[in-house]
A and B are shown apart, each in its own frame.
Chain A
């Protein structure tokens, strides 16, 4: 059971906009910034969003992050087939004094 809660799956058709949610508590998302990671099949995770809504250089602006209260969201607009991957949220948790992850969301592009 992960500390942060994500839907196990999401899907969309090419060109669509999809959103992935990440729910936490006051000890993590409620007081700390959120990172999002993309893991393509057979590869290591890659940082997609940091500090809730910031994109590292090289990440397309189709990817955006937001946070409100104890929840965060990752939005992908103009969905492409290469976006098919697992997506994870993460945040530092003051109650356990380590970062915690969501269980991951498998995105399927139909």
Chain B
């Protein structure tokens, strides 16, 4: 069974940084494209970032380009998202998604002073 468990969310001040993590199990992590998708409170889904199975190719939504960095460690079955220069509008639940099919339960990032 595919399991994706996000961690690292929390309350952070505007301009601050966090590192989100996603621990994956139940599948061959190194074979799959992985993504981060976020959902602001009461709003729809927004694509954040994606990374190819070998980590060589990365993709970012326009609203986070230059501020967020996606990475992965296939030896540890972990996906990461370094979020920096945070703004109030980055407040959201951040979901780890395998191949745009299987979703984790999400981790909440709140940006507020």
Do A90 and B100 touch across chains, with their CB atoms under 8 A apart? yes
A-B contact count (CB 8 A): 46
Note all chain A residues with C-beta closer than 8 A to B50. 98-99
B44 touches A103 (CB 8 A): yes
Contact B45–A50 (Cβ < 8 Å): no
Contact with A along B78-113 (1 / 0, CB 8 A): 000000000000000001000011111110000000
Known: A45-B95, A97-B59, A98-B59. A104 touches B45 (CB 8 A): yes
Known: A50-B101, A99-B100. A2 touches B44 (CB 8 A): yes
B63 nearest CB across to chain A (Å): 11
Give chain A's interface residues, CB within 8 Å of chain B.
2, 35, 37, 44-47, 50, 56, 86, 88, 90, 96-104
